[in-house]
Amino acid sequence: MTTATATFESLNPSTGEVIETFPRSGAAEVDRAVEKSRAAWEGWRLVPAPERGNILFRFAQILERSKPELSDLMTREMGKVKAEAGGDVQEAIDMSYYMGGEGRRLFGQTTPSELRDKFQMSIRMPVGVVGAITPWNFPIAIPAWKLTPALVCGNTVVLKPAEDTPLLAQRFVDLLHEAGLPQDVVQVVHGYGEEAGDALVRHPDVPIITFTGSRETGVAVTKAAADRLKHVHLELGGKNAIIVMDDADLDLAVDGITWSAFGTAGQRCTAASRVIVHRDVYDALQQRLVARAEQMKIGAPWEDDTEIGPVINEAAVEKIHSYTEIGVDEGAKLLTGGERVEGHGFYYRPTVFAEVEPGMRIAQEEIFGPTTALIPVGSFEEAVLAANSVEFGLSSSIFTRDVNKAFKAMRDLQTGIMYVNAGTTGAEVHLPFGGMKQTGNGHREAGQAALEVFTEWKSVYVDYSGKLQRAQIDNQ
């Protein structure tokens, strides 16, 4: 049992130094947060949606103003490089504007009735207190993906951010308050999944859980939420493949692979951790990719010319390295990387394996680091088969100049997101984001799809005939 006097530390992954100490919340703090959030909901759900949207517009403006400060903090607390940190904040800005606009839409439907003098419509209703559990890899963007739609729809939120990026989460919520969000509508509980996260997932007054993280935790969340029949929105792992066909623009493909495999040091759930390559271009692609990987500048993420920053913590370095050993043991050929960078901080070299077979563990399991696996194939059909041979289904891509192959890939790749002639990363906020198969449970976030997660439908029938009209009977 923990109390608020217990603490944990947020570290700078480049240096290993402590940035700040945070209270480690347990069940008691979660109870208090939910109680406040539940009380606040009674007021918040009645605030006109356009007014709730206006707060999000102001929030977007404040985020724009704070972009340099937040990006700099992100390079220090999470370790992504400057340009990518700016992109993370920009994604939150875009989402806040988008969801702010929803305040004046939140469309339902009106339909004709089968009876005379009767009106009917469907309206979106908020669900209540949302338990939002967010990861460290998009420490500003993902809280925005979850909180802005939840709030504009009239829900309140208890946020449990990842224990690796509590300071950014705190700044995010402080800025929401600066934008005019009423006190108590959003509560933060800091700390660990097994403590604060678990208490939140099980709390009887939290009817929806939205979670981004590992498949394993997603399954545990689903089971814990089942007793109360909670709505569960999950955004889990990926094992995303880029297919490079023999007619591809190879320089473009190498650009796309480099960006998607090594950007954010591979710590995106959309990262390209497999590259499925037609044998006719396999040697050429391999040489160019290795040359690029070896040229990448590794360094402090706040410095302008750094291309690869650290991974999040020591455990991540160890996990990534254990997959290097697994790959070597499985008989894959290590072309470059495969080791941590000596010195302080949690750095790992961009790593490329060749001669990988689709069934190997390095081609099946999510590594969440700068490691990618080249899988040679002889045809388009074989490429699609290999791409689909994993349990996850988040993102995929194909590099080809053949329009027929591009359209077949759009149809046949079993992923929720698909790119043609671009890498596997780069989702925009106004399209649904999420995956098929073991990447989730059928929900999507972002865009209009997010509204489905954070509202329930209410169908309303208004009879103005002044008499009893029986549906399915009196219209005969």
The catalytic residue positions are 235, 269
**Binding segment for ligand UN1 among 48-56, 119-127, 295-303, 420-428 (CB under 6 A)?**
420-428
Interaction with ligand UN1 in 428-447: which residues (CB under 6 A)? none
Minimum CB distance to ligand UN1, residue 218 (Å): 13
Could you say whether residue 427 binds ligand UN1 (CB under 6 A)? yes
**Binding segment for ligand UN1 among 55-63, 93-101, 284-292, 424-432 (CB under 6 A)?**
424-432
Which position has the token pair 């072309």?
Answer: 335
Identity of the residue, 217 or 286, whose beta carbon is nearer to ligand UN1 in the bound complex: 217
Identity of the residue, 276 or 427, whose beta carbon is nearer to ligand UN1 in the bound complex: 427
Identity of the residue, 264 or 455, whose beta carbon is nearer to ligand UN1 in the bound complex: 264
- Strands 231-235 and 333-336 come out as unpaired
C-beta neighbour count of 326 within 10 angstroms:
15
Minimum CB distance to ligand UN1, residue 85 (Å): 13
Interaction with ligand UN1 in 124-143: which residues (CB under 6 A)? 137-138
Contact 153, 146 (CB under 8 A): no
Minimum CB distance to ligand UN1, residue 270 (Å): 4
Minimum CB distance to ligand UN1, residue 387 (Å): 18
Could you say whether residue 426 binds ligand UN1 (CB under 6 A)? yes
Please provide residue 170's backbone torsions phi and psi, each rounded to the nearest 5 degrees.
Answer: -65, -40
Task: Give the pair of three-digit tokens for residue 317.
Answer: 């370095």
Identity of the residue, 259 or 353, whose beta carbon is nearer to ligand UN1 in the bound complex: 259
Contact 372, 356 (CB under 8 A): no
Could you say whether residue 273 binds ligand UN1 (CB under 6 A)? no
Could you say whether residue 269 binds ligand UN1 (CB under 6 A)? yes
Could you tell me which of 311, 236, 240 has the C-alpha nearest to residue 271? 240
Identity of the residue, 268 or 292, whose beta carbon is nearer to ligand UN1 in the bound complex: 268
| Spatial distance between the Cα atoms of 306 and 29, rounded to a whole number of angstroms | 40
Minimum CB distance to ligand UN1, residue 265 (Å): 12
Identity of the residue, 89 or 269, whose beta carbon is nearer to ligand UN1 in the bound complex: 269
Task: Give the pair of three-digit tokens for residue 291.
Answer: 């040359």
| Spatial distance between the Cα atoms of 428 and 203, rounded to a whole number of angstroms | 33
Could you say whether residue 171 binds ligand UN1 (CB under 6 A)? no
Which amino acid would we find at residue 266? G
Could you say whether residue 397 binds ligand UN1 (CB under 6 A)? no
Identity of the residue, 138 or 347, whose beta carbon is nearer to ligand UN1 in the bound complex: 138
Task: Give the pair of three-digit tokens for residue 294.
Answer: 């070896």
Size of the site for ligand UN1 (CB under 6 A): 9
Minimum CB distance to ligand UN1, residue 150 (Å): 17
Calculated CA dihedral for residues 53, 57, 62, 64, nearest 10 degrees: 140
**Strand ranges, E, within 44-190:** 109-111, 118-126, 129-134, 156-161, 186-188
**Binding segment for ligand UN1 among 73-81, 350-358, 383-391, 423-431 (CB under 6 A)?**
423-431
- Strands 7-11 and 18-23 come out as antiparallel
The burial of 18, by beta-carbon neighbours within 10 Å (0-12 exposed, 13-18 middle, 19 or more buried), is given as exposed
Minimum CB distance to ligand UN1, residue 75 (Å): 17
Identity of the residue, 182 or 426, whose beta carbon is nearer to ligand UN1 in the bound complex: 426
Could you say whether residue 146 binds ligand UN1 (CB under 6 A)? no
* DSSP string computed for 259-292: HHHHGGGG-STT-EEEEEEEHHHHHHHHHHHHHH
Provide the 3-class DSSP secondary structure of residue 447.
coil
Site string for ligand UN1, 37-76 (x = CB under 6 A): ----------------------------------------
**Binding segment for ligand UN1 among 110-118, 264-272, 334-342, 372-380 (CB under 6 A)?**
264-272
Contact 411, 387 (CB under 8 A): no
**Binding segment for ligand UN1 among 67-75, 262-270, 272-280, 381-389 (CB under 6 A)?**
262-270
* DSSP string computed for 170-196: HHHHHHHHHTTPPTTSEEE--S-IIII
- Strands 109-111 and 118-126 come out as antiparallel
**Binding segment for ligand UN1 among 61-69, 94-102, 193-201, 421-429 (CB under 6 A)?**
421-429
Residue from the set 71, 425, 438, 439 that interacts with ligand UN1 by CB under 6 A: 425
Identity of the residue, 155 or 425, whose beta carbon is nearer to ligand UN1 in the bound complex: 425
* DSSP string computed for 217-229: HHHHHHHHHHTTT
Using CA atoms, how far residue 339 sits from 11, 131, 185, 317, 350, in Å, is 22, 38, 46, 9, 9
Minimum CB distance to ligand UN1, residue 222 (Å): 19
Q: Which residues bind ligand UN1 (CB under 6 A)?
A: 91, 137-138, 268-270, 425-427
